[in-house]
Structure 1
């Protein structure tokens, strides 16, 4: 398994890896050192490598504001990481390669080694027509500047140097095989996704007890619970947190759990209302199992955890795929969308009241929760990986037998 040092890209794979280890497979996991202990907890063997990508402790502004700022770092990281990873696996070629969508070296190495490559996608995947409807505009944006054109040229050259018979768009967006680790309900145009390539296995959550537990504090046993979290990356939003305190602080019958990340201190928010607890990090799934509502940035992980627990959501997207996820959640009837620039205390409070006071929302949340539970999750993902592994090993054994018979 290959990934980058970001919770949104590592966490979705952990239970799949844990299940493969439990089934007796030796799994190595190439990951920057900051996540090595987390990976080791699954029973996999970390293979640390140096990454040049901004880390989750860095200022989110390091990712820039334009499309080129978001895509260029992954290519540059891949170019410097590939030699490291090739050396790390010298003499220990795996039988099958798994990778997150951001790990470009994984697909190159699988091709070099002649072994199957399966992408584990933690978010939406391409559908038939995606290139014309979405990709063409993104490519045009990149090609409109010298920096963007230079990036595309470097990408194509890197692929050619490594014997990859495809261009940047197909390499980054069209895997040979992909297991999609989000509910099918979150996928736009799911009816147009090629099921011979992509299989939706849904949320692979497993046992999160190692992350800790959460309980209502004394005096809040009968209160409803509201979780507020913008995930682990785009969390430098003290103004938004203050609006949340104005919206929900002191609200009768509600206890509020506010996660503010690593870039904001609780002291910056001013006096805390008695019904609010503030943390830099919380065991999100444990809180959601107790929660009655969820204010979320609508990242893929948070969105599917909200669906899996049947929790109505207020989506306040911050970046990248979160805007599309917010639209999908609203279309399913399980969320309200409050744009970041409109997230005033009044708007947030009105959104919460409309959610928890609507029996149709509760019914839709229950329906989505049942659909997520029926998708198979971790066991189905492991079954499909083993199926591909058996096919590859049988094919390799057959080829070896053929060569031996010809030699005799």
Structure 2
């Protein structure tokens, strides 16, 4: 039996980074561990519901409901805020743990975007495990993806300054690694996605990265949903939590599925779209700013998704055919992976007009091969272990016996 330990988790205030870890944290608490969770206040209540103790810190990153435009348009626009935030967050977390009564943990868990967590683990001399909510680097990733992507930014004064500042911050904290492997090559990683969503999975070092698949758990606290009487087909449209300011796309969805005999459309539009922008909405269309996504997918016949890592695996876990309409970052790759698996069709936003959406939907929901492939993938996912296996793997990395409580 594992000795109860103090485990500290760290993440950023983003749904796609926090949500995948919550069931793992809940399981660790249920096993008797004391879990603290460094997180900005916007997610403190959600973290507290797992039984973990939130350790709030002030973040300078755009909040969970910020417009995606707040992140800028270039690669450096995207990455500089994470370094800025890490530099200012680190002293807050040192104060909270070393002087604020939380104490130094036995083990650090961290989201891939939490740079301070890795510095803290080094400072404290404790093991660190990455909980990755999306794909991980494979053998050859740097040459095939990272180096071409960074080739031009590295030549600029701004790019050189970014790397110099990152390296200087690491050196100040006793870390001599280059920023790239520091950020992208953890010593130990638990991957919270199904292996089928990992590009070049056969080239991933599984001595480092363990795929445990979906860790979804009980979502009843998020609310319930009931399929309307007479709805022969249900389609959920959701672009997640960040990339929701797409009124033109939503109007195409209403035109595609509104008044389609026997169909019911649940349309999540987020908080930055006024439902009035959609025009006249037929009776079979349900417009929401937010939905209990998993509850709906368990009853849905089709999922129109931005192909974020969380939504993609929820579609797979609920054997729901998908139309993938990617918006940013890893979503394009996820959309291609889903299409390659034969369980989805990718439509880029500019091509996702009403006629194309409707034709694609009708073909997907009536295709027995799509249904067969989804069932096969769900069976494989069940063998990956999910939440219990993730907790088991974390416990194997704890010092024996745990040094602190």
TM-score by length of 1: 0.95
Aligned pair 1:151/2:192, yes or no? no
Q: Summarize the alignment of residues 122-137 of structure 1 with structure 2, pairs less than 5 Å apart.
A: 122-137=133-148
Distance 1:396 1:42, change over 3 A: closer
**Quick one: distance in 2 between partners of 1:94 and 1:396?**
9
Give the equivalent residue in structure 2 for 1:176: 187
**Quick one: distance in 2 between partners of 1:274 and 1:370?**
37
Shift of 1:149: 1.7
1:47-104 deviation digits (Å, cap 9, x = unpaired): 0000000012222210111111111110110000000011110150000000000000
1:182-204 deviation digits (Å, cap 9, x = unpaired): 00000000011001100000100
From 344, 364, 367, the counterpart of 2:373? 364
Aligned pair 1:97/2:108, yes or no? yes
**Quick one: distance in 1 between partners of 2:294 and 2:312?**
11
Give the equivalent residue in structure 2 for 1:393: 400
Give the equivalent residue in structure 2 for 1:237: 246
Note the aligned Cα RMSD (angstroms): 1.2
Considering Cα pairs closer than 8 Å and 6+ residues apart, tell me whether 1 or 2 has the greater RCO: 2
**Quick one: distance in 2 between partners of 1:339 and 1:371?**
29
1:225-244 deviation digits (Å, cap 9, x = unpaired): 10000000011111110010
Aligned pair 1:299/2:339, yes or no? no
Shift of 1:396: 6.7
Q: Secondary structure at the match of 2:34?
A: coil
Q: Secondary structure at the match of 2:10?
A: coil
1:8-45 deviation digits (Å, cap 9, x = unpaired): 00000000000000000000000000100000000000
Corresponding pairs, count = 393
Distance 1:334 1:291, change over 3 A: same
Give the equivalent residue in structure 1 for 2:220: 209
Give the equivalent residue in structure 1 for 2:3: none
Task: Show structure 1 runs of 5+ residues with no match.
Answer: 398-408
Q: Summarize the alignment of residues 58-97 of structure 1 with structure 2, pairs less than 5 Å apart.
A: 58-91=66-99, 92-97=103-108
**Quick one: distance in 1 between partners of 2:125 and 2:307?**
38
1:258-298 deviation digits (Å, cap 9, x = unpaired): 00111111111111111110101000000000000000000
**Quick one: distance in 1 between partners of 2:190 and 2:304?**
28
Q: Secondary structure at the match of 1:393?
A: coil
4+ residue runs over 4 A deviation = 394-397
8 Å CA contact 2:107–2:126 kept in 1: the answer is yes
**Quick one: distance in 2 between partners of 1:250 and 1:299?**
28
Shift of 1:357: 2.1
Shift of 1:148: 1.7
Q: Secondary structure at the match of 2:98?
A: coil
Give the equivalent residue in structure 1 for 2:5: none
TM-score by length of 2: 0.95
Distance 1:302 1:386, change over 3 A: same
Q: Summarize the alignment of residues 183-198 of structure 1 with structure 2, pairs less than 5 Å apart.
A: 183-198=194-209
Shift of 1:142: 2.0
Task: Show structure 2 runs of 5+ residues with no match.
Answer: 1-8
User: Which 10-residue stretch deviates more, 64-73 or 192-201?
Assistant: 64-73
Distance 1:210 1:336, change over 3 A: same
From 244, 249, 263, the counterpart of 1:254? 263
**Quick one: distance in 1 between partners of 2:168 and 2:30?**
41
Shift of 1:165: 2.4
